[in-house]
Amino acid sequence: MSGPILCAVDFSADSEAALLWACTQAELTGSALTLLHVAHDPAASPGFYRRPGGDWPRPLTEVAEEMQQEFLARVRRDYPSQAALQSLESRIVPGLPPSRVVEVATEIGASLIVVGSRGRTGLPHVLLGSVAERVVQIAAIPVTVVKQAPGPAR
């Protein structure tokens, strides 16, 4: 691979699986790894996120940054042997996730995009759509969609 690997996360268990898979690929190929979270700006309160368990909406990027730092710290603690976790670049951008993932991939010259799959089917999939599916449709580079291995939920 010539460019970095871009791993887009939403802090879910599937995102964790995608990040671990991307770490392994980065180490195998000697590629740099960029971790990306797209802070989706909700129409109900533009520019703000309400943190789970929080009372008041706070600035979108502030909450997203905290959540990404906590996610990355937990994954680093749980998987200390993953060397790529220590050297990755971490980014947060606001916007609509599918298009922003592809834009950032183009901007950094990524050779691969890695995303997690929530595995929605039926009506929830039709109503909500799938970020992973849309990234696959619009990306000009390979996209790997990773599902969390079956087992006990975290």
Contact 120, 128 (CB under 8 A): yes
Please classify residue 111 by burial: count the beta carbons closer than 10 Å to its beta carbon, then call 0-12 exposed, 13-18 middle and 19+ buried: middle
Rounded CA separation 31/69 (Å) = 22
Per-residue model confidence as pLDDT tens for the chain (154 residues): 689 999 999 998 999 999 999 999 999 999 999 999 998 765 544 555 555 555 556 677 788 898 899 999 999 999 999 999 999 999 999 888 999 999 999 999 999 999 998 755 554 444 445 888 899 999 999 999 998 876 555 4
- Return phi, psi of residue 33, to 5°: -125, 130
Q: Give the CA count within 13 Å in the CB-facing half-sphere of 56.
A: 3
Sorted by where each starts, the structural domains of the chain and their CATH numbers stand as 5-146 (3.40.50.620)
Angle between helix axes 97-108 and 131-138 (nearest 10 degrees) is: 40
SS3 55: coil
Rounded CA separation 7/19 (Å) = 6
